Structure 1
Amino acid sequence: MKKHLALILTTVLTLAACSAPSSEREEPQSSYSGPDPAAGSDYTGPDVTGLTTDDWKTTVVSDELNYPWEVRISDGTLIVTEIEGTIAMIDVDGNLERHDVRTSNPVRHDGGSGLMGLALADDFTDSGIAYIYYTYADGSALKNRIAEAHYDGKSWTETRSLLDDIPGHELYNGGRLAIGPDGNLYATTGWVHNEDYPQDRSSLAGKILRMNLDGRPAAGNPFDDSYVYSYGHRNPQGLAWDSEGRLYSAEHGESANDEINRIVPGRNYGWPLVQDDSRRAGMDAPFLSSGSDTWAPSGIAFAGDDLLVAALGA
């Protein structure tokens, strides 16, 4: 029996629980025969099942942030990327320190491009190692880079590039990074307003990518010698794994039609050939679609069996 998933839209949205009717959804199928991405997962989260809007409280931690993009936490300190190329660190007392990130190419903030994703190594507290996703200029073109970075207690510095030449755009860059329960680094990339890229497995645009922490394609990826984990994406924003190690992603649609997708390795999620709940042979329909409403989803995270989605629309 399919496990019930509750979706709670947060941030600007009024909190509301939604679910995908199990009788109307087919389990995605894949020919993938690599290692189980859920292997070794020991995820546990707080049980928020049954909470109502009256149970949710908000506290302003800081109102000094400049276009915040990704939020991580380490030893009680919030670590927040800001799109112009800075990282804000907010301690338990609400004190904020802002650091310029020294990168091998200047961060290019152009509309929605800039310093976006951040993932912390498991031993970040001791090693200071993290992973960043940012936009840079390559002549007149925008490109995105996934890089390793180091925090020495005083400053943030890129230490090596893991993957260059990801197509960039003023708006559609994806940009999320997350370390999965399998220990690999996952990244979302946008379609950069090119209708060919999402369906082209040789392009890095419009994809979810999976790599080792040293930047090589992860062993067992569904396509040989490729970073591509799934394709046919428009502008995927959030990545999160449930308690059974299944990966979900939140994705911006066009003119509403925002999506929550259950990601199966090697599967095609349809953009730009289909969106919303439309079906086409060889392409997966979304697990949940906003239809004519707009969520404008960003980061996502599981709390127990509930998927929390930060959103900018109602």
Structure 2
Amino acid sequence: MRTRTGAPRHALTASAAATALAAGLLLATADPGGAAESRTTAAPRTAVASLTTAEPSAATRPRAADSTPGGVKTVSSDWTVPWGLSWLPDGSALITERDSFKVFTLSRSGAKKQVGTVPEAVTTDGEGGLLGAAVSPNWKSDHHVFFMHTAAEGNRVARMTFDGSKLSDYKVLVKGIKKNRFHNGGRLKFGPDGYLYATAGDARASDLAQDKSSLNGKILRMTADGKPAPGNPFGTLVYSYGHRNPQGLTWDPQGRLWEAELGDAKFDELNLIEPGKNYGWPTCEGQCSTSGMTNPKRQWKVGEASPSGVTYADGALYMAALKGQRLWRIPVDGTDAGTPKAYYTKSYGRLRTVETVPGENTLWLSTTNADLAGRQPAGSDKVFQIELK
């Protein structure tokens, strides 16, 4: 049987899990979705108690029982395919643009400032380019920010220094992840264990997802220097495998890792990730009964989802849908995912990234209507703020 098992409860302190959430290290799956897109147990992880935060996290606040998305307001306009979003300790966001390779800061009041570009980034005239961003949990001491982007030889994880005004000191940490016009993955986040997680698509070579010697079709886990994190199940960067085009990552307050993944023509998935597990692609798309493969906790028809970003807030996961053009709310209780409910269907177009604002019962949500599938003019994308009530 393809098993449905919950993630192990690692030895995370409540404060460490809360701190990681506050630092914006929550979260995401990919582009057009469906046919339109082409469509060993790990050692226990050590909680990192030194993560820096700007505000108390959502996990430490009194929970608003069964809170749901409310009013939407525009924080910022005139974006062209904003992709990655990570919070800085001052409460502003670091945001990437996929095709221009530009990096911006965006304040809570909507003040937008370009702080640099990522060197050696290229586009694939599809889903590749400058993708995920992650601010170091120790930014106040190391001033490091991390990016996942497409380069000449493939997809990379790179590190730069950000002094609060400009980016510098580009350094490649991981290179040679195969690229394609589609299925590049791209989400990048620090977990509550202090390690960096990256999603890598199968680059339209589906057999790579089952090849544990390949970095494609995987969730990767690494140190801040790009080395395999201690306790990884195979002694490599690979944390889990059998993924098609994963683009969403987030953690709940107990440190469980949730992932959103674009399927092919049948089903998109929400998975609860355990180290070393096989999530089925290309043998399985959605639930199946193949021995050794782990079933998703939830699945959607591709026209209803094609998910990218995902975040946790007040007892639920919030998942941004591209082709489905809606925000899904999925209540979670332990390792169980409840009945999903859709919000804002077809109201704002293709929804790319959703993140919880540190210390608030609030989400930020971005669109990518100016991408290949959205076909809107450059500058038509926006960043929204959503109050949970």
Aligned partners of 1:228, 1:268: CA distance in 2, in Å? 11
Q: Which residue of 1 aligns with 2:204?
A: 193
Distance 1:87 1:195 in 2: 31
Distance 1:227 1:287, change over 3 A: same
**Retained in 2: the 8 A contact 1:101–1:155?**
no
Deviations 1:1-20 (A, max 9, x none): xxxxxxxxxxxxxxxxxxxx
Confirm or deny that 1:156 pairs with 2:134.
no
CA-atom RMSD in angstroms: 2.3
Alpha-carbon distance, 1:293 to partner: 4.6
| Offset, 1:119 | 0.6
Asked if 1:32 corresponds to 2:41, the answer is yes
Cross-structure match for 2:104 = 88
Amino acid at match of 2:171: R
Kindly indicate whether residue 87 of structure 2 is the aligned counterpart of residue 73 of structure 1: yes
State the match for 1:277 in structure 2. Answer: 287
Contact 1:296 1:311 in 2 (8 A): yes
Q: 1:115 to 1:288 in 2, by over 3 A?
A: same
Q: Which runs of 5+ in 1 are unaligned?
A: 1-24
TM-score (norm 2): 0.68
Give the whole-Å Cα distance in 1 for the aligned partners of 2:81 and 2:265: 23
Secondary structure class of the residue paired with 2:209: helix
C-alpha distance 186-43 of structure 1, shift in aligned 2 (>3 A): farther
Q: Which amino acid aligns with 1:26?
A: R
Structure 2 CA distance for aligned equivalents of residues 151 and 123 of structure 1: 12
Cα distance in 2 for partners of 1:71, 1:39 equals 22
C-alpha distance in 2, partners of 1:122/1:306? 24
Amino acid of the structure 2 residue aligned with 1:131: F
- In structure 2, which of residues 199, 224, 232 is the aligned counterpart of residue 213 of structure 1? 224
CA contact (8 A) 1:109 1:115 kept: no
Q: Cα 1:194–1:128, aligned 2, differ >3 Å: closer, same or farther?
A: same
Maintained 8 Å contact 1:276/1:285: yes
Q: Distance in 2 between matches of 1:106 and 1:50?
A: 42
- Which moved further from structure 2: 145-154 or 180-189? 145-154
Letter in 1 for 2:242: G
Q: Higher relative contact order at CA 8 Å, sep ≥6: structure 1 or structure 2?
A: 2
In structure 1, distance between residues paired with 2:298 and 2:229: 28
List alignment gaps of at least 5 residues for structure 2: 9-39, 52-56, 327-389
How many pairs are equivalent?
282
Cα deviation for residue 194 of structure 1 reads 0.5
Farther-moved stretch of structure 1 (128-137 vs 145-154): 145-154
Q: Distance in 2 between matches of 1:152 and 1:107?
A: 25
Residue identity (%): 37
2-structure distance, mates of 1:182, 1:171: 30
Q: How do 1:124-203 and structure 2 match up within 5 A? A: 124-125=139-140, 127-138=142-153, 143-203=154-214
Q: How far off its partner does 1:102 sit? A: 4.0
Equivalent position amino acid for 1:132 in 2: F
Structure-1-length-normalised TM-score: 0.83
> Displacement of 1:284 after TM fit?
0.4
User: Cα distance, 1:155 vs. partner?
Assistant: 2.0
Going from structure 1 to structure 2, the CA distance change for 1:108 and 1:166 (only over 3 Å counts) comes to same
